[in-house]
């Protein structure tokens, strides 16, 4: 959260002039991808892209994986290349790596700007365009992103004037536009979508670790932006590590199954949970749905008898009573399969069958 005035940010954005060094317009090829049958997945090794890969593989899409390097993220590339090496050894699937210059649009050191969310708003749009050549080279019919249900979440700014979408570029509505973009640039042969749009985060984390444990051990959701993340792909000192630990515990998954080593429910980590008043610069963790997600996960952990400092604090607070009174509502929100508009239609029936099987196995 950069605490800047929303009106001023919008004004500057609308007044921005873009100048291109090579102004000549080059039209995309109208030739379709030959023998298009695979899926290309933007692989971050987060839970969303790993579940997307695992499900695509189960659906017979023979998925290929591409990692687009964001040079501004301190230790991320090192850790992901290490995970990719082990992943290739186990599954025989090589990680294609692309270092892209457009990443400098959100490299604050390069731009001489303070850290903010500026520049991240079109990340998936950039990636869609950059993955199209991979679709041609790897015979892909699909470009798949890990855009889950909460990417459409929003909240009001401090002045209660603007609706803020922390991840609109990943929302289902925008993914439909990205599908139009990829078709326009590929002779209408490459479709862009998300296999996990029907799911909330907690079910994604549960399904990955429960149905595909061999994939879950490669999970890296942490941005490793601090020195605690220098030598390992979980820093155990950030909001993301705390969230993933909580989602695991709340869904009955042992956190070490995804590589977490530290007990993130110790009292000393309370500041990393927005439910307890913790602060974060990650805007998507400030939505109402993100708050209720933590409420539900702590409630699940309490019901399962988890012994931990923060679970005890939760049980003794008014939050526990709130969760108890909203139990049916929270279960419906976080343990449902949602209607989707970005799941490729010919994959939907088999996909939903997998999800129904997994949700039926979830023990509340």
Is 196 part of any domain?
yes
Backbone angles phi, psi at 219, to 5 degrees: -65, 135
The C-alpha atoms of residue 163 and residue 145 are separated, in whole angstroms, by 24
Identify the pLDDT of residue 298.
98
Identify the pLDDT of residue 2.
57
Identify the pLDDT of residue 343.
98
Is 352 part of any domain?
yes
| CATH assignment at residue 219 | 3.40.50.620
Is 191 part of any domain?
yes
For residue 41, how many C-alpha atoms fall within 13 Å in the half-sphere facing its CB?
A: 30
Residue 125, helix vs strand vs coil: helix
Identify the pLDDT of residue 251.
97
Is 4 part of any domain?
no
The C-alpha atoms of residue 119 and residue 102 are separated, in whole angstroms, by 9
The C-alpha atoms of residue 118 and residue 130 are separated, in whole angstroms, by 20
Identify the pLDDT of residue 3.
64
Query: Would the pTM count as exceeding 0.75?
Result: yes
Is 22 part of any domain?
no
* Contact partners, residue 121, CB within 8 Å, separation at least 6: 168, 169
Which domain, by its residues, includes 79?
Answer: 35-361
178, two tokens:
């990205």
Backbone angles phi, psi at 96, to 5 degrees: -80, 135
Residue 132 · residue 185 · CB < 8 Å? yes
Torsion of CA 360, 151, 143, 97, to 10 degrees: -110
Is 13 part of any domain?
no
Is 8 part of any domain?
no
Q: Show pLDDT as tens, one digit a residue, over the chain (364 residues).
A: 556 677 887 888 788 887 888 878 888 889 999 999 999 999 999 999 999 999 999 999 999 999 999 877 778 999 999 999 999 999 999 999 998 888 888 888 888 888 777 778 889 999 999 999 999 999 999 999 999 998 888 888 778 888 888 888 999 999 999 999 999 999 999 999 999 999 999 999 999 999 999 999 999 999 998 899 999 999 999 999 999 999 999 999 999 999 999 999 999 999 999 999 887 767 777 788 999 999 999 999 999 999 999 999 999 999 999 999 999 999 999 999 999 999 999 999 999 999 999 999 998 8
Is 192 part of any domain?
yes
The C-alpha atoms of residue 207 and residue 52 are separated, in whole angstroms, by 11
Overall domain count for the chain: 1
């Amino acid at each position: 959260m950069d605490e800047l005035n929303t009106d001023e940010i919008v004004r500057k954005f609308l007044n921005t002039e873009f100048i291109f060094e090579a102004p000549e317009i080059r039209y995309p090829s109208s030739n379709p991808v030959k023998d298009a049958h695979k899926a290309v997945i933007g692989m971050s090794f987060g839970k969303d892209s790993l579940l997307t890969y695992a499900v695509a593989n189960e659906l017979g899409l023979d998925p290929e994986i591409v990692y687009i390097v964001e040079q501004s993220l301190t230790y991320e590339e090192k850790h992901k290349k290490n995970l990719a090496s082990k992943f290739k050894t186990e599954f025989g699937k090589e990680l294609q790596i692309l270092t892209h210059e457009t990443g400098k649009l959100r490299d604050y050191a390069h731009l001489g700007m303070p850290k903010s969310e500026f520049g991240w708003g079109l990340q998936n749009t950039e990636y869609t365009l950059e993955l199209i050549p991979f679709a041609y080279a790897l015979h892909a019919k699909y470009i798949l992103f890990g855009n889950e249900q909460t990417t459409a979440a929003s909240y009001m700014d401090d002045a209660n004037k603007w609706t803020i979408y922390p991840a609109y570029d990943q929302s289902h509505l925008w993914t439909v536009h990205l599908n139009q973009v990829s078709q326009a640039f590929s002779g209408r042969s490459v479709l862009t979508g998300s296999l996990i749009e029907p799911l909330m985060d907690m079910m994604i984390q549960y399904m990955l670790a429960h149905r595909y444990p061999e994939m879950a051990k490669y999970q890296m959701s942490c941005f490793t932006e601090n020195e605690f993340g220098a030598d390992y792909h979980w820093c155990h000192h950030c909001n993301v590590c705390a969230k993933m630990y909580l989602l695991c515990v709340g869904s009955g998954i042992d956190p070490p199954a995804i590589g977490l080593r530290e007990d993130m429910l110790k009292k000393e980590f309370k500041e990393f949970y927005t439910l307890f008043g913790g602060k974060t610069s990650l805007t998507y963790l400030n939505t109402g749905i993100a708050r209720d997600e933590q409420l539900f996960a702590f409630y699940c952990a309490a019901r399962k008898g988890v012994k931990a400092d923060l679970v005890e604090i939760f049980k003794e607070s008014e939050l526990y009573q709130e969760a108890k009174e909203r139990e049916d509502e929270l279960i419906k929100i976080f343990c449902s399969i949602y209607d989707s508009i970005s799941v490729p239609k010919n994959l939907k029936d088999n996909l939903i069958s997998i999800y129904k099987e997994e949700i039926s196995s979830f023990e509340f």
